[in-house]
Structure 1
Amino acid sequence: MVNIMKNEYDFSQGERGKFYHPNAEFNLPIYLEPDISEFIKKLATVKQTDMSSMVNSLLKSNKELIESLQYTS
């Protein structure tokens, strides 16, 4: 295996914080099982929306259901 790293790098012309964005939001990758992905994809097509919106909608409704059950016990 060939070492492609240099012994030294010159960062004297570098600009600190060039790519820093304090308000940047990070989206976590969510990996769906194939059957769930196919189900969401079909449902999103029927509802004429994208998969991300469909998943968020389903999760919000489940969250509301879970919260309503927790506070009624």
Structure 2
Amino acid sequence: MESEYDFSQGTRGAIEPTPPGKTRIAIRLDDEVLAWFREQVHLAGGRNYQSLINDALLEYIQQRREPLEETLRRVLREELERIQK
């Protein structure tokens, strides 16, 4: 380990820039919620648990916007398509 480091060329902030359409935030989640999402990602063989949380939130928003009848029709179409494969 060096006794002194040169940070003169260093920059503050995230290492990877935030992609367009995304916003970096800090959020507090219950440990149980975070553990569940991490476990789901692990069982699926990898991915990003943050993306899974984002997908779950988007699905929730869609369900709130979509009437129940439309939701049922969509789910039935998706399941019939899956069965036909």
The interval holding the TM-score normalised by the smaller chain is: 0.5 to 0.7
* Structure 2: tracts of 5 or more residues without a match: 1-11, 13-19, 71-85
* Structure 1: tracts of 5 or more residues without a match: 1-18
Larger fraction in helix: 2
Q: Which runs of 4+ in 1 moved over 3 A?
A: none
Identity %: 10
Normalising to structure 1: TM-score of the pair?
0.54
Aligned residue pairs: how many? 49
Higher relative contact order (CA 8 A, sep 6+): 1
1:1-73 superposed matches below 5 A: 26-47=23-44, 48-69=46-67
Q: CA RMSD in A?
A: 2.7
Normalising to structure 2: TM-score of the pair?
0.48
Structure number with greater Rg is 1
